[in-house]
Amino acid sequence: MATRMTVDGVSTCVVPGTERYEWFTMGRGKRKKQYVQYDFRDATDGMLFSIVRPTLEECREERDVWLMKKTQQMD
């Protein structure tokens, strides 16, 4: 599968505070489902968050939970 999300297995989301996402399809026939590969690079420490979910909204909700947990750990 060709992707613009990675180069040699490394995320292309390198600018802190940015997100990248790409839709892809898995399965065959009636079992085909669309998913989103989502990457987000945190602006505070440059840490990468990466997830696959059926919708972009779910990806962003998971990212927000991840960011909240990180913030709580810093306190």
CA–CA distance, 38 with 57 (Å, rounded to integer): 10
Calculate the alpha carbon distances from 63 to 1, 19, 30, 48, 51 in Å.
25, 10, 30, 10, 9
73 versus 63: which is more confidently predicted?
63
Each residue of 31-58: pLDDT tens digit?
999 999 999 999 889 899 999 999 999 9
DSSP 40: E
